[in-house]
Amino acid sequence: VNVHIRMLNQRTKFDRGIYDAPAVSHLKALLFDVFGTVVDWRSSLITELAAFGQRRGVMADWPLLVDKWRAAYDPSMDRVRKGERSWTTLDALHRESLGAVVASLGISGLSLEDLNELTDAWRRLRPWPDVKEGMQRLATRYILGPLSNANVALMVRLRKFAGLPWDFVFGADLWQHYKPDPEPYQAACRLLDLRPNQVMLVAAHNYDLRAARIQGLCTAFIPRVTEYGPRQTKDLEAEECWTLVASDLRDLASLLST
């Protein structure tokens, strides 16, 4: 018995059949948050950047650079969310913040082309070990795709690199809004021609699930307790009674009988 499995009101899957549960019996599509939930961005970026540094003889504390780079992520989107700057893709925000972080750390020897190349590392992130099998099982019954803050071009490359069995690729440039603004959740359901309760967001982040639930979507929490490295302090567990809580995507596939 997997003790991480919790359904509505903390029922386990042994209390009643999943497909008798009103919460998921009409489910048609699963939307996935990507950075953190599907791919291990931190270790992937550290590996890519350290290899680049070694190849090019550039010295730096690469894990520190990656952590500072990611720390700039949400504030940079927030300026767009608040209307303080016009629509800007995540690729462009990543490129900008990398330049700022490199300068702040005093790293020298990087050209503009190098910064562009390093930004492309976001297109080559590795999935967590459970993702391939879990996604393939879920794909046998559900329509699958990302609901990420990435732009389409970034997500299409990442999907190709990681070999993810997605039926579509959405990106924030389609609606020019970043989660947790309501538009991404609403637009995804509308484009799929599904009611919100036929759609489930799968995410490792409680804030994302909260925003999805407000729009009427079903929710599944997957903890990724090392997403931010060994000293992660947030999103270690489900903070609310989400529709489903699973230990990873294989576990979610089992919960959904696939």
Residues binding its own copies (CB under 8 A) = 91, 143, 145, 151-154, 156-157, 159-160, 167-169, 171, 173-174, 191-194
* Cβ 91 vs Cβ 154: under 8 Å: yes
Alpha carbon distance 195, 47 (integer Å): 41
CB of 211 to its own copies, least distance (A): 21
Compute the least distance from the CB of residue 216 to its own copies, in Å.
17
Q: d(Cα 84, Cα 78) in Å, to the nearest integer? A: 8
Q: Are 29 and 143 in contact (CB under 8 A)?
A: yes
Shortest spacing between CB 169 and its own copies, in angstroms: 4
The least distance separating its own copies from the CB of residue 91, rounded to whole angstroms, comes to 7
Using the minimum distance from each CB to its own copies, give the nearer residue, 42 or 94. 94
- Is 50 or 152 the residue whose CB approaches its own copies more closely? 152
Read off the tokens for 104.
């702040």
Residue 238: name the closest of 249, 225, 251, 256 by CA. 225
| C-beta closer to its own copies: residue 91 or 248 | 91
User: Using the 8-state DSSP alphabet, how is residue 192 labeled?
Assistant: T
Start-to-end Cα distance in the chain: 17
- Residue 167 or 240 with smaller CB distance to its own copies: 167
CB of 215 to its own copies, least distance (A): 17
Query: Cβ closer to its own copies: 80 or 155?
Result: 155
Contact yes or no for 172/184 (Cβ under 8 A): yes
- Which residues have a Cβ under 8 Å from the Cβ of 234 and sit 6 or more positions away? 228
